[in-house]
A = this chain, B = another copy of it.
Amino acid sequence: MAGPDPVASWPTGRLLSVAARLVEHSWQEFLATRGLTHAGLIALHLLREGPRTQRELAHGAKVTDQTMSRTVERLHRAGFVERGTDPVDRRRTVVTLTDRGRDVHAEALRAERDEPEVLGALRDYEAFRLQLVELVTALGVDRSTAARPDPRG
């Protein structure tokens, strides 16, 4: 008994993390049956308009190059992307969407539209989304090369 769920007393950052996990989790059923992961989905999303280098994908997804490297590897293993070396600059790995990748991404878009049940618990879904976009835009200047902006000590 006592205090059952004083979630309201949590720090906002923690609230954000837990909410993210919970929502991610609600996608798991869909994703697992398709053999893809939630991180891979955003990469697919960024790839829909054409081939990109891993660096570009990392920038776009607001993650480090290392993280995107592994995500792409996973995506490739699942057959959703193709990897090739840029003939002009052989350091670069150019990532391209396969048909299956394009297909599964389209399906995910549909599913997102069809099942707003999860986020339906929110009063002002659109307002909430907007706040998130603001937050990410404000805080997520870049990353990718994992720049350490203020090493004063």
Chain A residues within 8 Å of B, Cβ to Cβ = 3, 5, 7-27, 38, 41-42, 45, 49, 60, 62, 108, 112, 118-119, 121-125, 127-129, 131-140
Contacts and interface: CB of A to CB of B under 8 A. Distances in A.
Contacts of A18: 62, 136, 140
**What is the copy number of this chain in the assembly?**
2
A23 B129 contact: no
12 contacts: A5-B60, A5-B137, A7-B137, A17-B38, A19-B139, A23-B135, A118-B139, A119-B135, A121-B139, A123-B134, A128-B131, A131-B131
Contact of A16 (B9, B16, B140): B16
Nearest to A16: B20
A113 to B, nearest CB: 10
